[in-house]
């Protein structure tokens, strides 16, 4: 009888110990980490919901936690898309550039070149600002057109190249007009001439620059003649004053 009771007590204690360990584990052990697939799917869900900030967070988490996962490359590309859709164009351009550097032979490179160009072009805000990003965007679109002429993005790239050139021409025209309004006709004339020579592919701007160039040159020559007369008259006045 005593042996039977002892066995029951040992069994009960064992069961309690096992269940107690389970409870302890639940309380003290950290929860299992999400898998790469789970993070990727959650990021894609955030993209679908247009929660781009959350998507960026998750794509970065996947890239950092699982750098060798089969989902990581897609996450790197989608990270650029998330920045782009969130209108973080500078970060988008950097991310797309990084993707091209890391995966230069990836099948998505035509798309990456196109999106890099778009990200750079969208950083241009006004013709009174520098056109550095526009020129770089033009170069990316041109690379896409030359390297992947059969890509579905090639035609769009060519159209955006024309847009970049138009903005760059208008920027140069703006600077020339500033010189004109300041009555600095020499610099204005030279700027209009530069536009005529370098933006023949933007005929409406080049034609306007031609008209303004003639007027600026006329005013510039008159200005030079007036300065010459004033110098001569000044020297004669000095002569008579000396007498």
pLDDT in tens, 123-148: 999 999 999 999 999 999 999 999 99
Answer yes or no: is 220 within a domain.
no
Answer yes or no: is 236 within a domain.
no
| Residue 33: pLDDT band with limits 50, 70, 90 | confident
- Total tally of structural domains belonging to the chain: 1
Query: What are 195-210's pLDDT values in tens digits?
Result: 999 999 999 999 999 9
Name the residue range of residue 42's domain: 33-86
- CB neighbour class for 71 (10 Å; exposed up to 12, middle 13-18, buried from 19): buried
Answer yes or no: is 45 within a domain.
yes
Residue length of the chain: 243
pTM of the model: 0.80
Answer yes or no: is 40 within a domain.
yes
Q: Residue 86 corresponds to which tokens in the numbers above?
A: 């969130």
For 59, what's the count of Cα atoms within 13 Å in the CB-facing half-sphere? 22
CA distance 13 to 7: 10
CA distance 52 to 54: 5
Answer yes or no: is 81 within a domain.
yes
Answer yes or no: is 62 within a domain.
yes
Answer yes or no: is 3 within a domain.
no
Answer yes or no: is 46 within a domain.
yes
């Amino acid at each position: 009888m005593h042996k039977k009771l002892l066995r029951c007590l040992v069994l009960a204690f064992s069961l309690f110990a096992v269940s107690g360990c389970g409870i302890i584990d639940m309380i003290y052990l950290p929860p299992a980490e999400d898998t790469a697939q789970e993070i990727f799917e959650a990021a894609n869900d955030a993209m679908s919901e247009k929660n781009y900030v959350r998507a960026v967070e998750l794509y970065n988490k996947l890239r950092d936690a699982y750098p060798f996962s089969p989902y990581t490359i897609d996450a790197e590309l989608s990270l650029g898309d998330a920045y782009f859709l969130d209108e973080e164009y500078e970060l988008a351009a950097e991310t797309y550039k990084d993707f091209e550097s890391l995966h230069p032979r990836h099948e998505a490179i035509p798309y990456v070149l196109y999106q890099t160009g778009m990200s750079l072009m969208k950083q241009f805000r006004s013709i009174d600002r520098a056109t550095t990003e526009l020129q770089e965007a033009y170069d990316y679109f041109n690379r896409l057109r030359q390297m992947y002429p059969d890509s579905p993005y090639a035609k769009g790239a060519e159209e955006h190249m024309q847009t970049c050139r138009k903005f760059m021409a208008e920027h140069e025209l703006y600077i020339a007009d500033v010189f004109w309004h300041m009555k600095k006709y020499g610099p204005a004339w030279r700027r209009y001439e530069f536009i005529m020579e370098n933006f023949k592919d933007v005929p409406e701007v080049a034609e306007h620059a031609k008209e303004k160039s003639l007027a600026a040159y006329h005013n510039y020559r008159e200005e030079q003649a007036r300065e010459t007369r004033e110098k001569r008259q000044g020297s004669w006045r000095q002569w008579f004053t000396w007498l």
